[in-house]
Structure 1
Amino acid sequence: MKACFVYTSLTGNTKAIIDMINQEMLSSGIETKVYKIKDLSYDTLTSYDYLIIGTYTFGNGVLPKEMRPLYDYFSRVNMPSLKTAIVGTGDRFYPYFCGAVDQLVEPLKQHTDLRVTMKVELYPEEKDKVKIPRLIHSLTK
């Protein structure tokens, strides 16, 4: 089984949680590849069983501009056998916490096999780390 991670990170928080999930998947025997969104070639997605998307939320619930092409791609391309997860970081200071995760749900739900989402406040803490095995289980079951 092969997993693809695609992420964007402004402060390092999203990268940190993606790195943690990646390490857990590697230790469970799943082959992984991690891409910054700017380095992703969409053609490669067909060679993966799992896709984990990591994004921060900009301001009050806004999807970062660099993630818009991924949103647009999954709004028009059907990949029903691709099992997906969305992981987002955000700040509860804003009224729409991790709104970028919620924006990505619809196209992924319609065009992939969306299995799980996870929201993390700021930098991942121990309470977030313990959720990682459940996220992986939900994604790979």
Structure 2
Amino acid sequence: MHACLIYTSITGNTQAVMENINDALAQLDITPQLIHVRDLDFEMLSHYDYLIIGTYTFGNGDIPKEMMPLYHYLSQTDLTHVRSAIVGTGDRFYPYFCGAVDRFVAPMQQRTDLRVTLKVELYPEQKDRDKIPRLIASLTR
């Protein structure tokens, strides 16, 4: 089984969460590949068993501009055989906490087998890292 973990990160918060997920998957019988969105070959996504998207939220609940090509690709491509998850980081100070996660839900529900979402406030703390096994269990069952 192979997992593609696609992320973008400005402050390092999202990258840290995705690295934690990558490390947890590597302990299982799953081969993870952690890819920054700028290095993504979209056509390869159909070859994965699992897809995990990690994004921060920009502005007032928006998807960052570097993630928009992925968003549009997922909105138009049939990947219903791929189990997926969305992970986001954000700050509760803003009215739409992790709004980018919520915006990714609709296309991923329609075009992938979306299993789970996870929202993390700022840098992942132990309580956030403790949720990773449940995220993986929801993704892989």
| TM-score of the aligned structures, taking structure 1 as reference length | 0.99
Match of 2:55 in 1: 55
Q: Which runs of 4+ in 1 moved over 4 A?
A: none
One-letter amino acid matched to 1:134: R
% identity of equivalent residues: 60
Instruction: Please state if 1:119 is matched with 2:105.
Output: no
Q: Which runs of 5+ in 2 are unaligned?
A: none
- Give 1:1-141 correspondences, 5 Å limit: 1-141=1-141
One-letter amino acid matched to 2:122: L
Distance 1:71 1:32 in 2: 21
Distance 2:113 2:10 in 1: 27
Deviation string 1:96-141 (CA, Å, 9 cap, x unpaired) is 0000000000000001100000000000001101100000000000
Distance 2:23 2:35 in 1: 14
Q: Which runs of 5+ in 1 are unaligned?
A: none
Distance 1:30 1:77 in 2: 24
Give how far 1:59 is off: 1.9
Give how far 1:60 is off: 1.6
Give how far 1:29 is off: 2.2
**Count of aligned residue pairs for this structure pair:** 141
How much is the aligned-residue C-alpha RMSD, in angstroms? 0.6
Give the 3-state SS of the residue equivalent to 1:38 in structure 2.
helix
| TM-score of the aligned structures, taking structure 2 as reference length | 0.99
